[in-house]
Structure 1
Amino acid sequence: MSAIDNTLTKLVQDGKTPSVHYTFFNQDSILHTFKTGFADVQHQQEVSDDTLYHAYSATKTFTALAILQLAEQQKIDLDQAASTYLPDFPYPKEITVRQLLTHSAGIVNPIPLSWIHLDTEHSTFDGNNFFRQIILKHATIKSKPNEKFAYTNLGYILLGLMIEKVSGLTYEDYVRENILRRLNLKSEEVDFTVADSTRRAKGYHRKNSFSYFLLGLFMDKQKYMDKAEGIWKPFKPFYVNGAAYGGLIGTPNAFVQYVQALLKPDSVLISNEYKKMLFAENHLNKHQPSGMALSWFCDHLNGTKYCAHAGGGGGYYCEIRIYPEKGLGSVVMFNRTGMTNEKYLDKLDQYFIS
């Protein structure tokens, strides 16, 4: 649709992002797709269907799906104490697995912008030791379990550890074997590491911006960023410290295939019964809806319910979305910094959802 394409083209022309890739689809077909801009500004490398973007927190939906798969196998009970599966769990023993999934455990959320390491450090980086220190530092809760919604990356680090304890696999290998492989997605399409660095979109931050100044308060820009490319300051290639809360890197189409599999009534990923649980909105202690299902945010566009998750941080921003009642979904990816859930898909999907 020309209105969508014009909107996205203008974003690039106005210097709001170096590139963008958007797709709207049903369970079987692509209904609309559009991409424009540069994966590499300096070398004028245009974005393509093979371009890899960091998905950041959209990875949490894979973590939740993995927990549901293990629950379906009766290896995890969502309403059991998380400490049942994590003997060293440092938080109150009444916190359940479900409360970790729905961000209602009351665990704090330190700003994670500095939770990255250069790809040259990846072979020696010890994520478990890194987060052991972080969790010990933030071992108290700020609200009672299921008292209110409070988004936390640490809760999903704990869920990743739970997947490892219960399955006997590393978190990354569990996701590869039980989600990506079932979708016939190859490692060059989506994974936790990048074999071909030329296909990864450079992550950028607008140089002359207040947020660029703030970035220096949370990370070592000299270490993690490269020389300016026009109006953009690029990040050096890096990985997120915790795979379970934000480590996936992939093509937009890989995430399209993932959402399409969740749209299908007989999904290869999970049974209908457990998929219904995945998208059921959590209600808090006083029975008010929390706006959060099992990792998926719940909201409405033009009166139509959707479940979604954004992923944002230094250099990249994305959103994935599913409209369960209509059998539709969408994915958008940018290679510029995103700090909050922008609900950018509202602007694009409105042309399809009425």
Structure 2
Amino acid sequence: MKKLINTVFILFILSPVVIAQAYRANKDASDSKVSQADSLFKSYNTRNTSAISAMVIKDGKIIYNHSFGLADIENKVPATPLTNYRIASVTKQFTAMCIMMLKEDGKLALDDKLNKFFPSLPGYTSNITIQQMLNHTSGLPDYGDLVSPGITRPLNDTDVLHLLEKTEKRVFEPGARFAYSNTAYVLLGLIIEKVSGMPFKDFLRKRVFIPLNMRQTTVNSQTDSIPNRAYGYNLRDGRLKKEDQSLYSYLLGDGGIYSSVADFYKWDQALYTNKLVKPATLKEIFTQSSRENPMQAYGYGWYIDEKFGKKRVSHSGGTTGFSSFYVRYPAIRFSIIVFANQDEGVTLEPIVNAIENIYLNEQ
């Protein structure tokens, strides 16, 4: 009995030491991962490079959150987690979410045809469904191929509708194959406006941004200012030149949102909840609806594949002066967000792959 008491007493005395050692080991491992991640951005500085912001999230906890370079090179404004970048095609998951919200509201169905909402469109749109627009199997022509040479005025979403009104045929039979379509998502944004009775940007603000407290997230505008914004740059003759907007920069449904990694964290966490839509709807959004190739499927606004033996959903984006990449592993509640204010000369996929290897290789 005395021996047992002594053993318990020794364990009681040693347990704080054991706990401290375990904590230190975990902290050292965490610090090592942060250092490894930081090394991926060693070419960025706060003197003359464009910016990049990266966040890694595990179980709701932010385990990496660093920004590098300049959001505004001319005025030497450093990037921070609050810097707003244009997220380009990562916008598509928001557009898809809004469509699914309206579906839950009973205001549309995924088998509704495109010309139900826009009777002015040619007859070939009579069998293109909302679902086919969501999953990139609509066969709609690319709006970039429809713009007349010499046009310099930036297009808006209604301009794309008018361009389609003048087209004679689709690219392929709806549902026949996958072909990534910015046109489809611009039109989905217009459908949201028509069905909800409010501008797309207002619907986003009312139904998504405000409920999630994404107070700084907004859409691109020629008239409204964007808080904490990054300006876009590209390499020209060996120097970074401001290239912030293009003919297509003010199209909203396919790529018009500005957000920061700090705000985007709230979006990421909301996708584990029913704050926006019911669990069954979320499941549908993240379920294969089409397939781009044997290795990669598409849901509604999301690519779907498998990595490290786990389901992975993701989307990247690129537009004049901006790049974005967002990855989620829902089963282990792990996410990576990377935004940058440069597109040409910057490839985010290798950075994301490296971060995945740093944090997931041993899981």
TM-score for both structures, normalised by structure 1: 0.80
Q: Deviations over 1:245-290 (max 9, x none)?
A: 111112121122112111x2x3311110000000101146xx9786
Q: Who is 2:52 aligned against?
A: 20
Q: Whole-Å Cα distance in 1 between the matches of residues 166 and 325 of structure 2?
A: 31
Secondary structure of 1:3's counterpart equals helix
Q: Who is 2:113 aligned against?
A: 81
1:121-270 map, 5 Å: 127-186=156-215, 188-193=216-221, 199-208=228-237, 231-235=239-243, 240-262=249-271, 264=272, 266-270=273-277
Q: Whole-Å Cα distance in 1 between the matches of residues 349 and 230 of structure 2?
A: 22
Q: Which has the higher contact order (CA 8 A, sep 6+)?
A: 1
Structure 1 regions of 5+ residues with no counterpart? 116-120, 210-230
Secondary structure of 1:246's counterpart equals coil
The share of aligned pairs that are identical, in percent, is 25
Q: Whole-Å Cα distance in 1 between the matches of residues 58 and 119 of structure 2?
A: 42
Q: Whole-Å Cα distance in 2 between the matches of residues 135 and 173 of structure 1?
A: 25
Q: Whole-Å Cα distance in 2 between the matches of residues 95 and 289 of structure 1?
A: 26
Structure 2 regions of 5+ residues with no counterpart? 1-33
Q: Whole-Å Cα distance in 2 between the matches of residues 86 and 72 of structure 1?
A: 22
Bigger mean CA deviation after superposition, 35-44 or 81-90: 81-90
Residues 40, 201 of structure 1: 8 Å contact kept: yes
Residues 190, 251 of structure 1: 8 Å contact kept: no
Residues 149, 290 of structure 1: 8 Å contact kept: no
Q: Who is 1:224 aligned against?
A: none
Q: Whole-Å Cα distance in 2 between the matches of residues 143 and 290 of structure 1?
A: 21
Residues 281, 289 of structure 1: 8 Å contact kept: no
Q: Whole-Å Cα distance in 1 between the matches of residues 345 and 167 of structure 2?
A: 22
Q: Whole-Å Cα distance in 1 between the matches of residues 117 and 346 of structure 2?
A: 32
Q: 2:313 is matched with which residue: 307, 310, 314?
A: 307
Q: 1:16 to 1:294 in 2, by over 3 A?
A: farther
Report the count of equivalent residues: 318
Residue 174 of structure 1 aligns to which amino acid in structure 2?
F
Output the aligned Cα RMSD.
3.0
Q: Who is 1:59 aligned against?
A: 91
Q: CA deviation at 1:195?
A: 5.5
TM-score for both structures, normalised by structure 2: 0.78
Q: Who is 1:105 aligned against?
A: 138
Q: 1:127 to 1:178 in 2, by over 3 A?
A: same
Q: Whole-Å Cα distance in 1 between the matches of residues 230 and 289 of structure 2?
A: 36
Q: Whole-Å Cα distance in 2 between the matches of residues 136 and 342 of structure 1?
A: 36
